[in-house]
Amino acid sequence: MEEGAENPVQSVRQLAVVVLNYKTPGLVIDCLHSLDGQIEPATQEVIVVDNSSGDGSPVQIEEAIESNGWGCWARVVRSPINGGFAAGNNVGIKASNAKVYLLLNSDTIVRDGAIETLMKTLDEHPEIAMLSPQLEWPDGEHQISTFRYGTPITEMIYASRLGLIERIFPRHVVARELHEFTTGLDWTSFACIAIRREVFETIGLLDEDYFMYFEDVALCRKATKAGFVIGYQPQAHVVHLRGGSSPVKEQSRQRKRRPAYYYAARSHYLRSFYGVPGHILANLLWLTGWTIGALRGRTGAVAHEYLDIWTSPRHKVPIGVDDGEADG
């Protein structure tokens, strides 16, 4: 099989699940175990994209596929480079001819019935072009996975951690906790999201200028601008082991310095949707919020963030970098 190539002669499938791997074969295999019995081989498939792990991951995953009898619905596609989360998912999307693509993190466990519920919801609601499930912890605790667009004012809210600013600018608070079926969202987590092929045909694939982070909100903004509707179906449950496939969330929790690719993605997002003046304004508002938070003895910032927010969106991430996994 040609690496990362699309197969133009294969029949159209109802669903293609794309799982991105970068040095997390154990997580991928656990994820595949959770999909066993939920995938209909005649009309659905799972594509595991190895993002040039260089650690034997694809062989381990292929051996698990063979030994567990998953070969009728799962296969591995190798990317020749580690181009990032967006680029890796694009390899998987191009490798299948499907009506719906489910982008799925390697650090997920798909609860029984989740795939069926998502597909049934899309069948019953043709107006929905992108649909996400309820993300949760292994014990069933709810994770917030639905959001509003981040704006320059959002940066001040984040850096200050001041409730008063949140109350003054509620529409600029990103997290939007939902527990009921909802449509018309701004954006939702790409740890698990079903996307109709019409979205990609209309606005293109994920923006590969994002190595990792912000590619999800960027695609959603383009989709909603084009008139596509994003929905949330909490009756479909997916466990998300946040941080299992990327170090950034844990670094943030411990207030450690984040890698440069995170800030390059942030800069690219702000400049793409608010221009260079918007990027500068966002940074100035971040500094304002950070100052307010520091004076009150609390801030949302991590180490060196007052410097890192000025990272260029053209910052290049070396191929094969180990501090920036690219599987979400």
Domain boundary among 223, 246, 269: 246
Q: Which of 227, 246, 265 is the last residue of a domain?
A: 246
For residue 43, tell me if it sits in a domain: yes
Separation of alpha carbons 81 and 87, rounded Å: 9
- What DSSP letter does each residue of 296-310 carry, written as one string? TT--S--TTHHHHTT
* Spatial CA neighbour of 102 closest among 36, 39, 17: 17
Q: Which of 63-77, 238-252, 265-279 has the lowest mean pLDDT?
A: 238-252
Same domain, 253 and 295: yes
User: Which tokens is 304 given?
Assistant: 């060196």
Q: What is the pLDDT of residue 84?
A: 93
Count of domains forming the chain: 2
Per DSSP, 56 falls in state: S
pLDDT(244) > 60: no
pLDDT tens-digit map of 139-159: 999 999 999 999 999 999 999
Q: What tokens appear for 315 in the block? A: 């910052």
Query: CB–CB of 38/114 below 8 Å?
Result: yes
Contact in structure between 172 and 148 (CB atoms under 8 Å)? yes
Considering the domain architecture, whether residues 208 and 108 belong to the same structural domain is answered as yes
Higher pLDDT, residue 260 or 9? 260
- Domain assignment of residue 71, yes or no: yes
Quick one: pLDDT at residue 316? 60
Indicate if 287 and 313 belong to the same structural domain.
yes
> What is the rounded average pLDDT of the residues 297-317?
84
pLDDT band of residue 296 (cuts 50, 70, 90) is confident
CA distance 285 to 98: 43
Q: Are 301 and 309 in contact (CB under 8 A)?
A: no
Locate 19 and state its tokens: 């799982």
Using DSSP, state whether 85 is helix, strand or coil. Answer: helix
User: Are 230 and 116 found together in one domain?
Assistant: yes
111 with 164, same domain? no
Same domain assignment for residues 62 and 86: yes
| Mean predicted confidence (pLDDT) in 81-98 | 96
Q: Are residues 203 and 291 in the same domain?
A: no
Burial 298-316 (b: 16+ CB within 10 A, else e): ebbbbeebbebbebebebe
Both 119 and 160 in one domain: the answer is no
Domain final position from 200, 218, 246: 246
Whose tokens are 């154990």? That residue is 26
* pLDDT tens-digit readout, 181-229: 999 999 999 999 999 999 999 999 999 999 999 999 999 999 999 999 9
Q: Are residues 141 and 165 in the same domain?
A: no
Question: What letter would DSSP give residue 99?
Answer: E
pLDDT, one tens digit per residue, over 274-289 is 999 999 999 999 999 9
Its domain, for residue 61, covers 13-149+186-246
Mark whether 41 and 158 lie in a shared domain. no
